Amino acid sequence: MEKHADTLRNHGIKPSLTRMLILSYLTEEGSHPTVEEIYKALIGTIPTLSKTTVYNTLHLFTQKKLARAVMLKDQETRYDLAAHPHAHFQCLECNTVYDTSAFPQLSAPEEFLKHTVEDVSILFTGLCQSCREKSSHIEQ
Amino acid sequence: MEKHADTLRNHGIKPSLTRMLILSYLTEEGSHPTVEEIYKALIGTIPTLSKTTVYNTLHLFTQKKLARAVMLKDQETRYDLAAHPHAHFQCLECNTVYDTSAFPQLSAPEEFLKHTVEDVSILFTGLCQSCREKSSHIEQ
DNA sequence: TTATAGTATTGTAATCAATTCAATTTTAAA
DNA sequence: TTTAAAATTGAATTGATTACAATACTATAA
């Protein structure tokens, strides 16, 4: 837990219990959770937790570059730790999101060099293995 | 206009006037418009146009792979023609979106090869030239 | 032409993620 | 302590999107 406090301090964030638990969830639980998921996971531990606090905290983390908003073909925004950049693959059939461990090598196009590029996000979409197998079954 | 009708037919979409005008807007007007922008642009020409129709049409276009939903750090979904894939740069300060003409060369990571990758979207984020200049002015 | 079925369009109501904001609680410093 | 600043809360609101039932349009066959 002290590890999380340090991480927060290192990013210029005062380590409250709520913040440590949200960071802990981002670190230890499954990737790219939504605000709703985080809220539901922590309301048992922090009975007074408000969803607004989860929103506030994730905005703060994102601003301080501790977390990153992952944009998917989805309604809800999802969050990842900024320390582990990875590309995503999202199945358009079942909406499951898969991660890469490695981040594809990619440099910014020349046209963007005049801007200050701080981050890149890469999203592959298509049909996942499991959905492809299911649909080929049906068609036969 | 007949050109647009052909494009629609080629994608298995029956060419109604509304659909042609929406396609025309996507083709000729600025990139990645929102539903709201398309609606406002066309309500003068089609006075009975409903926003639901714009939503329906864009869903249809996307499904038929004529258009693509562009995911940005934004509330509103934006749409582009699928025929012109390009990466985007979005300024986190002013939210302006810049395009590339060229699409960065990028192959799917090995871990994704078992899935059927149909599309890739790439989003660079940071501070655009104009905002960087503005903010350096202020700080001096 | 008329009837009919299928498709497209419309508008209202509902949904739901996200934000606003004022009130309350907590924390830390004087 | 006292006080000010920061963090958290919750209710109300916003705004994009969807659901859905009603209406309008289109095309084909009798």
Average pLDDT, chain A: 89
> Which pairs count as long-range contacts for A53-60, CB under 8 Å and 24+ apart, including other chains?
A53/A18, A54/A22, A57/A18, A57/A19, A57/A22, A58/A22, A60/A13, A60/A19
The alpha carbons of chain B give a radius of gyration, in whole angstroms, of 18
Task: Quote the pTM value.
Answer: 0.88
CA–CA dist B42, B22 (Å, integer): 8
Q: Where do the domains of chain B lie, and which CATH numbers do they carry?
A: 1-83 (1.10.10.10), 85-140 (3.30.1490)
Tell me the two tokens of residue A95: 């909406």
Strand C bases within 7 angstroms of protein beta carbons = 7-12, 16-21, 27-28
List the structure tokens of A57.
Answer: 């905290």
Per-residue pLDDT of chain A (140 residues; tens, 9 = 90+): 789 999 999 999 999 999 999 999 999 987 899 999 999 999 999 999 999 999 999 999 999 999 999 988 888 899 999 887 788 999 988 888 888 877 777 878 888 999 999 888 899 999 999 988 877 665 43
Determine the distance between A60 (CA) and C26 (C1') in angstroms: 18
Are the beta carbons of A121 and A70 closer than 8 angstroms?
yes
Q: What would the two tokens of residue A90 be? A: 């999202």
Residues on chain A bordering chain B, Cβ-to-Cβ distance under 8 angstroms: 69, 71-73, 87, 89, 91-92, 98, 100-102, 104, 106-109, 111-112, 114-129, 132
A35 Cβ contact partners less than 8 Å away, ≥ 6 residues apart: A51, A54, A55, A58, A76, A77, A79
Kindly report, residue by residue over A16-48, the tens digit of the pLDDT: 999 999 999 999 987 899 999 999 999 999 999
